[in-house]
Structure 1
Amino acid sequence: MAEFSRRSLLATPLLMAAGPAQTVFDFRLEALEGGPLALAEYRGQALLVVNTASFCGFTPQYEGLQALHDRFAGRGFSVIGVPSNDFRQESTDAAAIRSFCETVYGITFPMAGLTTVRGPRAHPLFAWLAARGGGAPRWNFHKYLVARDGRAVRAFATATGPTHPDLLRAVEAALSGPALG
């Protein structure tokens, strides 16, 4: 885990918008189907939080994200998809997003509702991730890998696909780290 920790931890203070949150597990999103998607339910797991979009040139990454989720889920890992229209490439209809994800890509990993991921109206989770992971998403399918402790964050740009060796090595490192009780 030395490489993951050394390259991913930033000595950046939390943004005021993030409030008192100290770990990723302190945040809640709205689920795509409505109701809460509390990240506390994933305490002790490594997470890959990805801002997604249905009508983007990188949308085929959904296939690799599902494969990554399936490959590592049994070891305490989850992909969390967060649809965003920040780059004007996502539907504003939750049912249409769900239908697209399920029918075209067979997505079974948790999906949040439509969320702002950058700028002054960014969801506090994304403000927190940006502060710890080197900045806000520059495009769809920006990835934040969060270690089991919920604190260490490493970002991967859009062009780094879910099967890229660097991302796979980082997931392995995050899974070998300590889990919170």
Structure 2
Amino acid sequence: MAGRTKKEKLELVTQKIRPFPDFPSKGILFRDICPLLKDPEALTAAIDLFEEHVREAYPQVQQIVGLDARGFLFGPLLAQRLGVGFALVRKKGKLPGPTVSVAYTLEYGKAEVEIQADAVDPGQKVLLVDDLLATGGTLFAACELMKKQKAEVLGCLVVIELRDLNGLERLKPNSVFSLVQY
């Protein structure tokens, strides 16, 4: 990626997001990140953009927390680049050992996310990472989980933000950095 400007990296990432009309149901325009993951140059560009932003805005970050499941694709790569740890927020029942959980409501029902009790230390400065911000439900629940752990949420990072669904409003006062907005 050496030699590419921030704008060129962002264009590469944007080109690799594929729209699928009427998926998973009629009227939904699904934004598919699989082509981005398939292309090593595009994936490197995405991680470069996240890294540049974090180093500039959050040099004090101590831990990256990835959301189940696509936050697991970007989070560890970013954590490795930054030289910090990575923790998993998973759907209920997927983690061994003692866990802390938060229940939340979705458009179509209820869900619960959890983290291992020792994954994040009290006072630790964390950034949350996921692939997509839509209504903000899952990211909001993860922020609540961090409060329970007494961690300090510096902000949230996403590849794609769907602005019409107002996820930013739900996440206030937490800041959100998105690479691509629709």
**TM-score, scaled relative to structure 2:** 0.24
The structure with the larger Rg is: 2
Instruction: Tell me: higher relative CO, structure 1 or 2? Use CA pairs within 8 A at least 6 residues apart.
Output: 1
More strand by share: 2
